[in-house]
Structure 1
């Protein structure tokens, strides 16, 4: 069997899908994308196709190494996301050939279903109590919300008070055991992150996410000192080499590799194994589409330290096209009691509605994240 074609589809709301075809009629799907840089990743996929056309798709590890090591420059969001989507599609093909879900080819499952959480509140967190009640009523056992709008290096106490009030509103609207995760989104700088983390410590949160940007290792150490709340990070780390420092220095309790950013199923399986050796959990990042979620669930099935899974159903980014719209059988993600079953179909376990993909690719998108500014006119972290 040989790879014959790589075809990409820019589809709403902000996704990029990939189809890899072979000379034996077996094809696989992947989701290589950086949110806001879909066309850039699309170009990277096409460049990498020079290394793939005519090759055996079953040689996944070798093809991964060729893509990663075959050029002088490597790593980074765009390049690793291109590899990620290709890797997903190769695992999808392999599963089709053997008639088994990818997790069976990775050693078999350690679980049958995966706990998931729901997003509430939007970019500028609002009406979180109502949204939390709706998530609870829908059967979810946990939610994640952004902590705050933009914060300057030195900001006013009322903004901290507003964060505490929102989190308390979610607590009051749900139950004591309901999980509440608070995402700082990397938009908080160290002076305020220390204050915010300390004040939130009493809220008994599921975790705080990206309290500062992950490249600020020294700042992470400082936040670590002032809180006992579990710290999650990793959506902007793209390989096991970048996660290595986080693990060695004990900077996080939960790693959040994104299977559409961090080299796909092949690389994230290795990241999960590294984390397990440090008694650190994983909670794969996935505010993306159905192919990315399917890949995450294949990893969750085999990673003992997979704790909870992000998913994008109803997320504020998905206006107009949602998670299930591109699937022939949306019931594959049958959420119940705060869990989703591991997909049992071959490969990644989902069947893409190719006709719908091609129709929506004619619409496309040019999604960009908001650009925020502080009161003084300087650019703020989003």
Structure 2
């Protein structure tokens, strides 16, 4: 992953209260999202009093009626997160408590450090590293071909039935390779395969659900509740994985999670465990967090992962995250 563009948003009130949020574009190219985010926040914050994040989100959706989701949702995600931080800090509670929940510890799985086509020794080394850190589960990256057997065997030999194995096909599969991969992963005790098909291949996922019900995870490339809804209501996945930026922010992630709870779908958000641990406070259906260190070095205030592989929110108002001094000095803020 060579480039990640970070979008930040600070909301300050005349009463001296403030909230901070961010969004991102993995792979770069965030210019359109920056423009869209500014347009939406100017229309919402300069023309209306600061309101509850869910009220602001409803207004933002209306403003996107003619231009669609795309950069609008990615850009507005930063402002939505900032509003939730402001709402929580104004009420002197944690972000999760502001969402109506109570702080709890959630298991975290290790996801970083894997790539498709790794040697057995490299896989074993990375799995061992994760288990030594206390993680109770790991997620492999697979290729969708015969090489996957090597990785799965190596991981299973280290996990030894006492730790969970997950796998990610990163949208590389066809129906044929997806079915084969799901079978391979299940044979080695794996609990799901993430993105066995392209994100919006609803027809393919419907066909997979008939033969491999309960083994599919997806969602990081879906935008908004409307795109995630069929996966949950039609049983096309067992696990939904909202991404902060793509889904449109914490409000939309919360809306997805509420539907997930009603449909018996597990929620495992796409990376950023130290932020989504707050969502877990309000969402019983959130069962795992993903440790894939990417943006973490840019911020201070991340909660630590306990020796038992779980994470709980810090005892602070809001989400507790701030940009490091080094990040502010090194990168252009505009």
Normalised to the residue count of structure 2, the TM-score between the two structures is 0.89
Q: Tell me the residue number matched to 1:372.
A: none
Residues 216-266 of structure 1: per-residue CA shift (max 9 Å, x gap): 112112223333552111111111111221123210111111123212221
- The unaligned stretches of length 5 or more in structure 1 are 1-11, 152-158, 287-291, 365-382
Q: Per-residue deviation at 1:48?
A: 1.5
Q: Per-residue deviation at 1:363?
A: 9.6
Q: 2:26 aligns with which of 35, 50, 57?
A: 35
CA distance, structure 2, for counterparts of residue 170 and residue 104 of structure 1: 37
- The unaligned stretches of length 5 or more in structure 2 are none
Q: Per-residue deviation at 1:85?
A: 1.6
Q: 1:250 aligns with which of 235, 243, 249?
A: 235
Q: Tell me the residue number matched to 1:113.
A: 105
Superposed, which structure 2 residues align to 1:313-352 within 5 Å?
313=293, 318=294, 323-327=296-300, 329-330=301-302, 332-348=303-319, 350-352=320-322
Q: Tell me the residue number matched to 1:183.
A: 168
Q: Evaluate the alpha carbon distance shift between residue 72 and residue 106 of structure 1 in structure 2; reply closer, same or farther with a 3 A threshold.
A: closer
**TM-align CA RMSD:** 2.4
Which has the bigger relative contact order, CA under 8 A and spacing at least 6? Answer: 1
CA distance, structure 2, for counterparts of residue 323 and residue 242 of structure 1: 28
Q: Tell me the residue number matched to 2:199.
A: 214
CA distance, structure 2, for counterparts of residue 248 and residue 273 of structure 1: 12
Q: Evaluate the alpha carbon distance shift between residue 120 and residue 91 of structure 1 in structure 2; reply closer, same or farther with a 3 A threshold.
A: closer
CA distance, structure 2, for counterparts of residue 85 and residue 66 of structure 1: 15
Q: Is the 8 A contact 1:33 1:260 kept in 2?
A: yes
Q: Tell me the residue number matched to 1:200.
A: 185
**Which region of structure 1 is more displaced relative to structure 2, 128-137 or 339-348?**
339-348
CA distance, structure 1, for counterparts of residue 233 and residue 217 of structure 2: 15
Residues 298-342 of structure 1: per-residue CA shift (max 9 Å, x gap): 1111101111011323xxxx4xxx614421x45x33433111112
What is the number of residues matched between the two proteins? 328
Q: Tell me the residue number matched to 1:15.
A: 6
Q: Tell me the residue number matched to 1:130.
A: 125
Which one has the bigger helix percentage?
2
CA distance, structure 2, for counterparts of residue 94 and residue 323 of structure 1: 23
CA distance, structure 1, for counterparts of residue 264 and residue 258 of structure 2: 10
Q: Is the 8 A contact 1:204 1:229 kept in 2?
A: no
Q: Tell me the residue number matched to 1:3.
A: none
Secondary structure of 2:35's match?
A: helix
Q: Evaluate the alpha carbon distance shift between residue 139 and residue 234 of structure 1 in structure 2; reply closer, same or farther with a 3 A threshold.
A: same
